[in-house]
Amino acid sequence: MKKFKVGILGATGMVGQNYVRLLENHPWFQVVYVAASTNSAGVTYEEAVKGRWHMNTPIPEKVRNLIVEDVANIEKASKKCDFVFSAFEISDKNLVKEIEEKYAAAHMPVVSNASANRKTDDVPMLIPEINSDHLKMIKIQQKNHGWSKGFIAVKPNCSLQSYLTPIYALNKAGYPVKKIIITTLQAVSGAGYPGVPSLDMIDNVVPFIGGEEEKTEEEPLKILGSIVNNKFVNNKDLTVSATCTRVPVTNSHLATVNILFKDKKPTKEEIIKIWRNFKSVPQDLKLPFAPINPIIYREEENRPQPAKDRDTDKGMAVTIGRLRPCKIFDYKFVALSHNTVRGAAGGGILNAELLVKEGYIK
Ligand code: NAP
């Protein structure tokens, strides 16, 4: 199979570096183009990330000597790339939205990690195990904009992955969940690089992450929602209440989750069986980045733990433990997923694989 030529926007950042690392031997995608801010543009990738390469493996040979381009140079990208992964960060979200739209208008599918387009009416926000049916919004989006080949598809906030697939698995098995209380303990890499100052993090927990609780409460409703008359309609049966904290862990977001079922309540054994047996579209399609089992349940009372569980199945599986009755809701459990892999670059790659397999990226 001829590989797709891929560009990474924001290639020098925390998520971008993970794309570079994870795509090194990808069977379908080859990184041919890297872009970042004007601060990095014009030098080789190796020079641009000198002193701030945070991966545990060396910079891949094929990327090392690529010249970093300016994200704003859309024409150049369009000549070299079949599609782009978007992982650049600008505080003005309207500008990010505008730039991603320009890429799509220049005939490039944009597989995005940024939050700027997550609420956009005709942009699907994908977790392939949950809502691959939302892909059909892409045709509507292309029609709305007059785009023939380009489009934007996004992935959600990095903290959602740990608990939303398990909740969806229960919904799908006939046990809809109506209320969730969640407290996240999020890794420092979630804030990018250099991120949170070390004096704020060492020996400390910061009980606030700007904008994170709103995303944690709102994004699940779109993902678990449906398309009616060519528009997304949020799920109205679910309410989420979130507290998001930053903890001194390098990678992976842990979450404590309390759930209340809408009507029927399964037994603990049934829940664990549902999670262990859960497979979905990425597994059926045998997508290269799909975890074999998206949900891993561990019996040990002291798991999951960031250092021990984040890399399960290439960092793409969610690990859950400590399922037990809750005295206020029905059950409570602890969930963990790798924020820069499943929650960012790995999740973006899985989205792109789905888009290829379903014929949206050609
Ligand atoms: P980061 O480490 O701060 O990296 C930011 C990237 O954006 C760098 O490549 C930077 O290039 C580039 N950039 C900065 N200003 C720019 C500008 N004016 N024009 C074009 N490019 C610019 O951030 P990150 O953690 O990788 O996050 C990237 C995106 O992914 C964000 O939208 C974030 O919300 C999202 N995300 C992050 C995570 C996570 O766990 N970290 C998870 C999910 C989603 P220079 O190196 O040249 O400055």
- Mean pLDDT of the 83-105 span: 98
- Mean pLDDT of the 203-215 span: 98
User: At residue 271, does pLDDT exceed 80?
Assistant: yes
Distance 194 CA to ligand 1 centre (A): 11
- Mean pLDDT of the 278-287 span: 98
- Mean pLDDT of the 199-207 span: 98
Domain ranges of the chain: 4-157+344-357, 159-338
C-beta 13 within 6 A of ligand 1: yes
How many whole angstroms separate alpha carbon 268 and alpha carbon 35? Answer: 48
Distance 91 CA to ligand 1 centre (A): 10
Q: Please check whether the two domains, 4-157+344-357 and 159-338, share a CATH topology.
A: no
Percent helix, strand and coil across the chain, each to the nearest 5: 35, 25, 40
Say whether 338 is catalytic.
Answer: no
- Mean pLDDT of the 231-239 span: 97
Q: What is the pLDDT of residue 1?
A: 76
Q: What is the pLDDT of residue 165?
A: 98
Class of domain 159-338: alpha beta
List, for residues 113-159, the tens digit of each pLDDT value: 999 999 999 999 999 999 999 999 999 999 999 999 999 999 999 99
> Of 3.40.50.720, 3.40.50.300, 1.10.287.890, 3.30.460.80, which CATH number belongs to 4-157+344-357?
3.40.50.720
List, for residues 3-41, the tens digit of each pLDDT value: 999 999 999 999 999 999 999 999 999 999 999 999 999
> For residue 205, which of 188, 182, 181 has the smallest C-alpha distance?
188
| Structure tokens that stand for 206 in this block | 């910061």
Say whether 253 is catalytic.
Answer: yes
Q: Whose CA is nearest to atom 38 of ligand 1?
A: 190
Q: Whose CA is nearest to atom 7 of ligand 1?
A: 88
- Mean pLDDT of the 179-190 span: 98
> For residue 254, which of 324, 180, 350, 190 has the smallest C-alpha distance?
190
Q: What is the pLDDT of residue 288?
A: 98
